[in-house]
């Protein structure tokens, strides 16, 4: 006689003694076949809950957790970390910048290449002369070819592409050291990945320990 | 959506608020269903359609099977359900693998068949929810249960977000009845659920991603012969990583469901304290091993059709179980090795039986360690990129690496792996005959607080990089 897929009146909150009985019947040692299980009086095998005093546990745990995190934040601050900087890493930062080319914009210059382009540009001077902020799409340890191709193939950008020349990287046609993650974040970022990055940005405005870089205090 | 993401924190707070608001039970179930589809869509929205197809087909087919008057009609309806579920699974998961092997097969006849470019994305967790819906149709066909009475409850069973993408694979008779009547967590269940969530995230973010993953990647991404020590440490680290990653997901899923008042089955029982491979499979991914037993091994005849057929059934079950994990021959070899070890164990048991010497504690420990070592050897095929890399690593593990073998693990990694793995395996042995709940029951409140804070604090400060769970790909 098959049992129907229907509810029962099992008690959800079992004590440890009941748990022992339950384990003796359904535990690791007694693995029954599906038929054997279904031929018995049907019940939902509710989980066993240890009978702990959660008011006491939380009374200790919450202040201890807050104190630990405050201490960690203080330590991070002492080590030179600061809140309020863009914290979501190269991949998301790059993807966020790259998306600017997909929207209407007044970008007149895009910078591509490796770390020397990333660190060696004075944006204040360039902005003064161009009248708009250049778009920084250089990545450390990465050749420009793949990224030039991406911009030519996939955008309507008609401004100036400045390509950095790093001899041992210039002819690389692959993604280099950071390109794959950056391109993946741009092309394949999931909705949850996008919201996660936004939430991380929001929290990093308040917590120095989320800062991955170290700056002079 | 990943459990170890900020998006999930916000999502879950919203779900909890709605679940404990003064709405009708039906409205709350609709909320949970919408939340489950959003949870899945947060990774790739179009693939929600697959969930809908699976739900609609199995809902109707199960009803048709139930009312069919002849066995042949029942069989046709079951084939329809299997073809839909296995068709989706086959197309998305095994399409490229089949084409590549077809190409190799045709080359034997001198035909250079060109495989078309395959750029199909694998829907996350597809193997889990297709097995879950197939269990429903099979239960009805095998007259183990009657069809569900509510489409809403059945849809929620197929898509219930805590266990949707990486299990535990829940049986319909376990979950659907829970949706029929209002289910809420009392305070003890709720806080125990929170505790399980923190424990699961600690396993994933701190142990798997932070402490072990770098050593695994250093060894397995090297693709060069390496020293015996490094090869073993990299593999031991992977054994800890995959357990902490997958058991971490299951523990978090159980905790999430418990906070909402629902009960999911245990998926792991300290598997690295297993004595023998049959014991291992009673402790590792229990929801899959019992699924394979009940819907594959037993229908094939199990051990009821003679000794020879038993071993054939065992091997077939394990080979298909291996293939379930991924479209690669390495997974088939992994399953095959488990099948061989299970068969050897079965032969030995039939010869030695319940000999008294087997009751000796030290012999049990020795057999347990032997099991763990053999399990580690099988993990090499599970983790390595391709057969050649797996063989190269196993050669290194047995000291056959060429002169000048690499030593990719720095001292810090070596210390990390030794401490974490010895702690993990010791914990499994200490707890092999008990449960987490029973252990917590005996702890004083202050110690539970300290453990909880330690885990929560390390999860928050470690953060991780939001790595996906390994089993999502299956």
The percent of residues in chain B predicted with pLDDT above 70, rounded, is 96
Q: Which residues of B touch A191 (CB under 8 A)?
A: 41-43, 45
d(CA B349, CA B355): 9
In a domain, residue B69? The reply is yes
pLDDT at A128 over 90: no
d(CA B119, CA B15): 35
Asked if the Cβ–Cβ distance from A16 to B181 is below 8 Å, we say no
Mean pLDDT of chain A: 75
Closest CA to A111 of A159, A71, A51: A159
d(CA B242, CA B228): 21
A196 interfacial to chain B (CB closer than 8 Å):
yes
Q: Which residues of B touch A75 (CB under 8 A)?
A: none
d(CA B309, CA B203): 40
State residue B148 phi and psi, 5-degree precision.
-65, 155
Query: pLDDT band at residue A214, thresholds of 50, 70 and 90?
Result: very low
* Residue B356, domain extent: 215-237+267-449
Count the residues in chain B: 474
Residue A182: the pLDDT is: 83
Instruction: Report the chain A residue with the minimal C-alpha distance to residue B181.
Output: A7
In a domain, residue B147? The reply is yes
Q: Is the peptide bond before B113 cis (omega within 30 degrees of 0)?
A: no
- Using DSSP, state whether A4 is helix, strand or coil: strand
Tokens 């591509």 locate to A112
pLDDT at B9 over 70: yes
CB B331 within 8 A of CB B381: yes
Q: Measure in Å the smallest separation between the Cα of B330 and chain A Cα atoms.
A: 26
Q: Measure in Å the smallest separation between the Cα of B395 and chain A Cα atoms.
A: 30
Q: What is the pLDDT of residues B271-316, one digit of tens each?
A: 999 999 999 999 999 999 999 999 999 989 888 888 889 999 999 9
- Using DSSP, state whether A52 is helix, strand or coil: coil
**From the candidates B3, B4, B5, which should be mutated to test the interface with A, based on the most A CB atoms within 10 A?**
B5
Tokens 């050749």 locate to A143
Residue A140: the pLDDT is: 83
In a domain, residue A192? The reply is yes
d(CA A9, CA A18): 16
The least confident of A28-42, B10-24, B285-299 is A28-42
In a domain, residue A47? The reply is no
B224: exposed, middle or buried (Cβ count in 10 Å: 0-12, 13-18, 19+):
middle
Beta bridge mates, A111: A136, A162
Query: pLDDT band at residue B364, thresholds of 50, 70 and 90?
Result: confident
Burial pattern A187-198, b for ≥16 Cβ within 10 A else e, equals: eebbebbbbbbe
Closest CA to B462 of B202, B185, B91: B202
The residue-averaged pLDDT of A183-211 equals 84
Q: Within its chain, how far is the Cα of B304 from the centroid?
A: 28
Give yes or no: residues B150 and B273 share one domain.
no
Query: Between β-strands B145-146 and A135-136, what pairing exists: parallel, antiparallel or unpaired?
Result: unpaired
CB B249 within 8 A of CB B285: no
What DSSP character marks residue B298? T
Choosing from B19, B325, B338, B428, the catalytic residue is B325
The residue-averaged pLDDT of B123-134 equals 89
Query: pLDDT band at residue A37, thresholds of 50, 70 and 90?
Result: very low
The least confident of A100-114, B22-36, B248-262 is A100-114
Token pair for B234 = 């990299």
Query: pLDDT band at residue A69, thresholds of 50, 70 and 90?
Result: very high
CB B445 within 8 A of CB A57: yes
Query: pLDDT band at residue B472, thresholds of 50, 70 and 90?
Result: low
d(CA B22, CA B282): 42
d(CA A122, CA B294): 68
Smallest Cβ–Cβ distance between A190 and the set B44, B435, B461 belongs to B44
Closest CA to A100 of A55, A61, A45, A137: A137
In a domain, residue A52? The reply is no
In a domain, residue A179? The reply is yes
Mean pLDDT of chain B: 90
In a domain, residue B253? The reply is no
Residue B230: the pLDDT is: 92
CB B4 within 8 A of CB B204: yes
Token pair for B427 = 């914990």
pLDDT at B100 over 70: yes
Residue A24: the pLDDT is: 43
d(CA B434, CA B360): 20
The residue-averaged pLDDT of B134-158 equals 91
d(CA B151, CA B133): 13
The residue-averaged pLDDT of B386-406 equals 85
Token pair for A191 = 């909705």
Token pair for A77 = 């601050």
Give yes or no: residues B166 and B226 share one domain.
no
Q: Which of B137-146, B206-215, B360-369 has the highest mean pLDDT?
A: B206-215
Tokens 């060069």 locate to B224
Please give the torsion angle defined by the CA atoms of residues A106, A112, A115 and A117, in that order, rounded to the nearest 10 degrees: -60
Give yes or no: residues B281 and B164 share one domain.
no
d(CA B436, CA B387): 38
Give yes or no: residues B77 and B226 share one domain.
no
Residue B260: the pLDDT is: 95
pLDDT at A41 over 60: no
In a domain, residue B127? The reply is yes
Asked if the Cβ–Cβ distance from B445 to A16 is below 8 Å, we say no
Smallest Cβ–Cβ distance between A61 and the set B41, B188, B452 belongs to B452
Q: Within its chain, how far is the Cα of B70 from the centroid?
A: 37
d(CA A14, CA A50): 8
In a domain, residue A71? The reply is no
The percent of residues in chain B predicted with pLDDT above 90, rounded, is 68
Residue B439: the pLDDT is: 94
Give yes or no: residues B443 and B384 share one domain.
yes
Query: pLDDT band at residue A192, thresholds of 50, 70 and 90?
Result: confident
Three-class secondary structure assignment of A94-124: HHHHHHHHHCCCCCCEEEECCHHHHHCCCHH
Query: pLDDT band at residue B355, thresholds of 50, 70 and 90?
Result: low
Give yes or no: residues B110 and B164 share one domain.
yes
Residues 6+ apart with CB under 8 A from B30: B152
Q: Measure in Å the smallest separation between the Cα of B348 and chain A Cα atoms.
A: 20
Residue B354: the pLDDT is: 67
Structural domain count of chain B: 2
Query: pLDDT band at residue B222, thresholds of 50, 70 and 90?
Result: confident
* Residue A125, domain extent: 89-210
A5 interfacial to chain B (CB closer than 8 Å):
yes
Token pair for B28 = 């709350």
The runs of H, that is alpha helices, within B68-150 are 71-89, 95-107, 126-141
The residue with greater pLDDT, B185 or B467, is: B185
Give yes or no: residues B132 and B41 share one domain.
yes
B325 included as an active-site residue? yes
In a domain, residue A37? The reply is no
d(CA A107, CA B364): 71
d(CA B260, CA A73): 33
Query: pLDDT band at residue A107, thresholds of 50, 70 and 90?
Result: confident
Three-class secondary structure assignment of B166-204: CCCCCCHHHHHHHHHCCCCCCHHHHHHHHHHHHHHHHHH
Instruction: Report the chain B residue with the minimal C-alpha distance to residue A34.
Output: B294
Q: Which residues of B touch A69 (CB under 8 A)?
A: 457, 460-461
Structural domain count of chain A: 1
In a domain, residue B67? The reply is yes
B103 interfacial to chain A (CB closer than 8 Å):
no
Closest CA to B126 of B54, B34, B39, B201: B54
The residue-averaged pLDDT of B338-351 equals 91
State residue A212 phi and psi, 5-degree precision.
-90, -20
Give yes or no: residues B168 and B83 share one domain.
yes
Residue B59: the pLDDT is: 94
């Amino acid at each position: 006689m098959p049992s129907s897929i229907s509810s029962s009146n099992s008690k959800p909150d079992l004590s440890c003694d009941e748990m022992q009985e339950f384990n003796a019947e359904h535990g690791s040692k007694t693995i029954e076949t599906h038929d054997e299980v279904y031929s018995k009086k049907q019940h939902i095998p509710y989980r066993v809950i240890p009978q702990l005093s959660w008011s006491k546990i939380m009374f200790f745990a919450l202040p201890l957790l807050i104190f630990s995190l405050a201490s960690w934040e203080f330590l991070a601050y002492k080590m030179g970390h600061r809140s309020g900087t863009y914290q979501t890493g190269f991949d998301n930062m790059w993807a966020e910048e790259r998306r600017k080319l997909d929207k209407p914009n007044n970008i007149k210059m895009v910078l591509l290449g490796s770390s020397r382009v990333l660190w060696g540009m004075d944006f204040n001077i360039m902005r003064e002369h161009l009248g708009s902020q250049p778009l920084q799409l250089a990545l450390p340890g990465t050749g420009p070819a793949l990224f030039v191709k991406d911009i030519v193939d996939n955008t309507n950008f008609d401004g100036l592409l400045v390509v950095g020349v790093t001899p041992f990287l210039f002819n690389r046609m692959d993604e280099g050291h950071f390109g794959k993650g950056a391109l993946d974040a741009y092309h394949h970022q999931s909705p949850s990945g996008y919201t996660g990055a936004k939430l991380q940005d929001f929290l990093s405005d308040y917590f120095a320990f989320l800062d991955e870089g170290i700056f002079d205090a | 959506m990943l459990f170890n993401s900020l998006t999930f924190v916000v999502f879950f707070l919203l779900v909890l608020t709605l679940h404990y608001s003064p709405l009708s039970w039906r409205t709350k179930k609709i909320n949970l269903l919408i939340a489950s589809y959003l949870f899945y869509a947060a990774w790739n929205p179009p693939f929600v359609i697959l969930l809908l197809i699976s739900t609609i087909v199995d809902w109707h087919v199960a009803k048709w099977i139930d009312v069919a008057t002849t066995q042949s009609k029942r069989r046709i309806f079951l084939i329809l359900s299997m073809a839909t579920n296995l068709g989706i699974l086959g197309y998305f998961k095994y399409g490229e693998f089949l084409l590549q092997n077809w190409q190799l097969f045709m080359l034997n006849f001198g035909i250079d068949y060109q495989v078309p470019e395959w750029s199909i994305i694998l829907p996350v967790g597809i193997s889990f929810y297709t097995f879950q819906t197939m269990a429903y149709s099979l239960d009805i066909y095998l007259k183990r249960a009657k069809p569900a009475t509510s489409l809403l409850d059945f849809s929620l069973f197929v898509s219930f977000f805590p266990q949707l993408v990486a299990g535990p694979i829940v049986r319909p008779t376990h979950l659907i009845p829970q949706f029929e009547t209002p289910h809420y967590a009392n305070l003890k269940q709720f806080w125990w659920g929170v505790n399980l969530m923190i424990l699961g995230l600690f396993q994933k973010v701190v142990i798997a991603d932070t402490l072990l993953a770098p050593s695994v990647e250093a060894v397995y991404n090297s693709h060069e012969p390496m020293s015996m020590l490094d090869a073993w440490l990299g593999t031991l680290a992977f054994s800890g990583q995959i357990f902490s990653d997958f058991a971490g997901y299951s523990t978090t899923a159980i905790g999430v469901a418990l906070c909402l008042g629902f009960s999911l089955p245990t998926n792991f029982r300290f598997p690295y304290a297993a004595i023998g491979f049959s014991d291992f499979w009673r402790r590792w991914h229990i929801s899959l091993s019992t699924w394979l037993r009940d819907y594959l091994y037993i229908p094939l005849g199990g051990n009821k059709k003679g000794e020879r057929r038993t071993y054939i059934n065992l091997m077939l079950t394990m080979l298909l179980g291996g293939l379930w994990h991924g479209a690669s021959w390495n997974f088939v070899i992994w399953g095959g090795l488990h099948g061989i070890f299970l068969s050897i164990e079965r032969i030995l048991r039939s010869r030695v039986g319940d000999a008294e010497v087997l009751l000796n504690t030290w012999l049990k420990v020795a057999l347990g360690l032997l099991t763990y070592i053999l399990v580690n050897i099988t993990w090499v095929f599970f983790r390595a990129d391709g057969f050649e890399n797996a063989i190269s690593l196993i050669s290194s593990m047995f000291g056959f690496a060429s002169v000048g073998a690499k030593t990719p693990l720095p001292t810090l990694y070596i210390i990390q792996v030794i401490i974490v793995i010895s702690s993990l395996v010791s914990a499994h042995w200490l707890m092999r005959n008990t449960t987490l709940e029973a252990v917590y029951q005996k702890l004083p409140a202050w110690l539970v607080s300290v453990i909880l804070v330690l885990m929560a604090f390390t999860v928050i400060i470690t953060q991780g990089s939001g790595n996906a769970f390994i089993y999502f790909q299956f």
